[in-house]
Structure 1
Amino acid sequence: MRTPADSPTKTCTQPGCARPLRARGLCPTHYNREYHPTRHKPKQVSCAWCGTIVTRAGGGGRKYGFACSTSCRRALAYGVTPSTSRELVPIKRAPRTDQRPRPARRPRWHVAGVCRVCATPFLSPHLDVTCSAACQAIRDADSRRDHKHRYRARRRGALITPVSPRTIYERDGWTCRLCGRPIDRDADPQSPLAPSLDHIIPLANGGTHEPSNVWTAHRQCNSERANRPFVIVGRAKQRIATLF
């Protein structure tokens, strides 16, 4: 009985090529050269985040589109705005006061940028985007809140665009848009006075997760409103008033 191992393997019909056959008497390389000459040709594409024109090899598409840098790729994947103010700053060695020779060494490079939380200029030996551990903790907390909203929006098939909770709070002046009272910036995240993102058109009613459809609200007011119209009920105003 003849087995598949005993059957001869067909090879490419091009002279000097012994690779296995793919189709029409050609191996994959010669097949692409003959019938798809532009499949892997480099092409000019624009960055899906910042619009910069870059040269990319041909091939399939990307999940989030082409990106020109790691920061733009991270922004597309996680909705984080890439920092355009960071730069590498060389740190020179201090001059010596004696004449002893010392070996040459490459200059140390530090990252100079602006904190994404408090907008304070900083200098760090690492690729940081915040000026301190406290600001990084605030940024991580905002990121967790935004991921929670994005998860809810994905489950309902809603439109999702990058939304920074702290940017929305600053836009609204740290004031609840439901009861009109100020919001405590340092409140415990589980307290009724803590800030939260409220969707103007609730996700349950077909709303989207984008900056134009969210505003700032107390956690208590947001809970009282639920998925009803944005006119807050009177008892929520009374409850918030008793906490000041």
Structure 2
Amino acid sequence: MKTCSIDGCDGPARKRGWCEKHYSRFKAHGDPLKGARSVLPDWCDVEGCAEEPVAKRLCKRHYYAQRRGAPLLPRRPTTCTVDDCQASVHGLGLCKKHYQRQRAQLPPTRICSVEQCANGATVRGWCGMHYQRWRRFGDPEFTPPESVRKCTIEGCVKVTNARGLCNSHYYRWLKYGDPLISKNAPRVRQPVYIFADRICPTCGRSFDPGNSSRRVYCGKRCKPSGRIAGSVNNRRWVEKLGDADGWTCQICRGAIDPELYWPHRWAGSVDHIVPVSDGGTDERSNLRLTHLTCNVARGNSPSPPGA
């Protein structure tokens, strides 16, 4: 088998005495020895950058910077530049610890214009403290008087917040009802809402609703089943009421289309004349046919006379 005529190439000859690789270079560049891919170095050519090159002897970041025409700056260090510190960089080539130490040692660029104040200026040439005094009192050098109202708890010298108590004692009184309760004492959460006894609409007996504001019946035996109240999409009952009383809404007196089904707003639904929450039963005399939207809009409000 013939081999490529190029010195040092042992590939099989395909066309013009060259292998496929050299023949492709000849077609692209006119010379079988031209167009060979150069060997990339181990790191980027930019000084101080140790990233792996991807094209033109540059790393990905510097390659795209060159295409945009940006200057090829060295890559920022990823670890702290302080000796024997391997923490990640937070700012200015330093980790967070060394960065905060350096900032603490640097003097502020602008000093507060108030005499004998060495704080840095933030607004209007004042530091934050003097600026807030100017906003509240109209004078940055105003010194607010000390409060003479102290906490009424014996041994406490803190300033009062409300009811003659400081912040800590007022919070204890507000949450536990005792400003002197210990922080380590066991907390017993008291019920917030206590409702008076009610009369069951079914059996007429008095019962304790506890902390529930919606409990109406004394137990499950007195509570209606809600078989019809919760079955507004029960087609069997809708058709039974529609065939018996006519397909007319008993609230708005409008016609009900028998072809509409739940949950269409104008479909037929079963409504209790006396709401279940007021003691209404599932008897046939307490049921009527209404639009679904009319039934939802009425809720558990009493039915008007003649409706």
TM-score by length of 2: 0.23
- Greater C-alpha radius of gyration: 2
TM-score in terms of structure 1 length: 0.29
User: Which structure features the higher share of strand residues?
Assistant: 1
Give the helix-richer structure, 1 or 2.
Answer: 1
